[in-house]
Amino acid sequence: MRTELTYAATLPANTSTAVLVPGREHLPEELFSADELTYIHRQLELKSTLVGINKFTHQLYLVVTEPKRKGTETQEALRKAGNALHQRLQADKVDHVVLLDGADGEASLFVAEGLVLSNYSFQRYKTQKATPPTLTTVTITGVGVSQTQVTDLANLLEAVYKTRDLINTPPNMQTPTLLSEQIQEMLDGSGVTTEVLDLVQIQSLKMGGLLSVSQASDESPTFNILEWKPENATNAQPVILVGKGVVYDTGGLSLKPTPNSMDYMKSDMSGAAAVTGTLYALAHNKVPLHVIGLIPATDNLISGKGFAPGDVITMHSGHTVEVLNTDAEGRLILADALHFAKRYNPALVIDIATLTGAAARAVGREGIVMMGTADDLLKTDLKLAGELAHERLVEFPLWEEYQEHLKSDIADLKNIGGAEAGAISAGKFLEYFTNYPWVHLDIAGTAYLLSPDSYRGKHATGSSVRLLYHFLTSQATA
């Protein structure tokens, strides 16, 4: 990874070090001289939470955090402390830092998570004045952390990096075919098998949703099947992840309403990227769970041959859909994939998509909208994983009355409801094509940010990769 995360059994000499303490009463005084302690106490009295000391051969930092009411809140505070530490390391031009938990706990893992994620930078297309991060290596040491924990975290953070890279890639560099190639390259050597269905195969499967959305484009759609099936898998039936792979979205003939609303539509494949990143992390950490990823990929462009409001299309399931808004395209390609998933007799299916502006307006960039038919125990486990990753889930209802929003006069259903409950009617549309335990995650508010937000940074965040990894890992050991 571009920021190497390593483990050391002992504290390396003459290396910039950040000592983490949960309050001043845990200050490891043996690490500091008398003069340094005097300076530290003065800074702590001024309510400083990050104190730096220049040792001339290296820098020494004291990172002070206070335990919160809940353990997950403490962990998030530690990630944010990692972000604050990153800003100081950048200013001091530190290229290698060691994290030492002064209380011999696991705080360094969460600080490292925030620090490494803050250090992400996408400069692939810069030819002048590129400024890559100075920090290249983060080392964790201390008796409270193991080599395995650090390696697993390193692989997970690398998965987030690679997910962000996929999302940040501009649309002229990421057609559906190129996305499939990028996915294969990302997973090469991981143990995840990949199969890419081309236009002819998609036509033979009668995936009317995917085919209709791609009609306006000169680029053919793809349907990607990714599979991680370790020999020691603990589940007899697979878990399936379905990711929305719209590599660029104009809205089609239902053109997006404002001039700048298309500027960042390269991020409309964030669900596809998250599925790929999750499988990358599961495979590299050898998580014993059989997981399949399904990614329908296309763009949604404008041309005389594009599908139009008023069209009726026949889906992979055989059901008919009246298209009343071509900008409600994500649910069409996901519906084909959700029906395709039935052939695997899955234990659970989770779809991940930047699906509705309604979800973003409802919970902002602070949360992910969830709804589904999975049992309450599974949904509770997923919510707990969201708390652990601080990718929190807000469950919306799927009451039967919402199906009325999608009632069509001429087809089995229409692809959009009314002005109210837009995120829910989108989920209700997807539910129509499922007959298994299912959860829908709408990451429209969290996947791509136009201003920095702590360690999530600016632009692609890799939203839901850490959430899904923690959830699936818990299912493998349940």
pLDDT tens across 227-286, in order? 999 999 999 999 999 999 999 999 999 999 877 889 999 999 999 999 999 999 999 999
What span, in angstroms and rounded, lies between the C-alpha atoms of 397 and 359?
Answer: 13
What span, in angstroms and rounded, lies between the C-alpha atoms of 422 and 371?
Answer: 13
pLDDT, one tens digit per residue, over 56-114 is: 899 999 999 888 999 999 999 999 999 999 999 999 999 999 999 988 789 999 999 99
Q: Does residue 415 fall inside a structural domain? A: yes
Q: Does residue 214 fall inside a structural domain? A: yes
Q: What is the pLDDT of residue 231?
A: 97
pLDDT at 316 over 80: yes
Q: CA of 164: how far to CAs of 1, 131, 350, 371, 458, in Å?
A: 13, 18, 20, 25, 10
pLDDT, one tens digit per residue, over 183-210 is: 999 999 999 999 999 999 999 999 999 9
Q: Does residue 152 fall inside a structural domain? A: no
Please, are residues 368 and 395 in contact by the beta-carbon 8 Å criterion?
no
Nearest to 141 by CA among 91, 97, 204, 193: 97
Q: Which of these three, 142, 175, 210, is where a domain ends? A: 142
**Mean pLDDT across the chain, nearest whole number?**
96
Q: What is the pLDDT of residue 129?
A: 83
Residues 411 and 444 in one domain: yes
Quote the percentage of the chain above a pLDDT of 90.
Answer: 90
- Average pLDDT over every residue of 148-165: 98
Q: Which of these three, 100, 118, 142, is where a domain ends? A: 142
Q: What is the pLDDT of residue 1?
A: 57
Q: Does residue 161 fall inside a structural domain? A: yes
Q: What is the pLDDT of residue 2?
A: 85
Residues 130 and 169 in one domain: no
Residues 26 and 90 in one domain: yes
Q: Does residue 221 fall inside a structural domain? A: yes
CB proximity list for 420: less than 8 A, separation 6 or greater: none
CB proximity list for 207: less than 8 A, separation 6 or greater: 223, 296, 315, 316, 336, 340
Q: Which of these three, 142, 165, 182, is where a domain ends? A: 142
Q: Which residues span the domain enclosing 134?
A: 4-142
Residues 306 and 202 in one domain: yes
Residues 216 and 242 in one domain: yes
Residues 134 and 172 in one domain: no
Nearest to 341 by CA among 256, 257, 275: 275
Q: Does residue 148 fall inside a structural domain? A: no
Q: What is the pLDDT of residue 186?
A: 98
Q: Structurally, how many domains does the chain consist of? A: 2
Q: Residue 301 sits in a domain of what CATH number?
A: 3.40.630.10
Residues 27 and 106 in one domain: yes
Residues 130 and 191 in one domain: no
Q: What is the pLDDT of residue 258?
A: 77
Active-site amino acid positions: 256, 331
pLDDT, one tens digit per residue, over 123-135 is: 999 998 888 999 9
Residues 220 and 306 in one domain: yes
What span, in angstroms and rounded, lies between the C-alpha atoms of 287 and 264?
Answer: 34
Residues 61 and 172 in one domain: no
Q: Does residue 151 fall inside a structural domain? A: no
Q: Does residue 239 fall inside a structural domain? A: yes
Residues 77 and 167 in one domain: no
Residues 181 and 136 in one domain: no
Both tokens of 188, joined, read 């090469």
Q: Which sign does the torsion angle of CA 250, 255, 256, 258 carry?
A: positive
- Average pLDDT over every residue of 147-160: 98
pLDDT, one tens digit per residue, over 431-472 is: 999 999 999 999 999 999 999 999 999 999 999 999 999 999
Both tokens of 97, joined, read 């830092």
Q: What is the pLDDT of residue 138?
A: 98
Q: Residue 92 sits in a domain of what CATH number?
A: 3.40.220.10
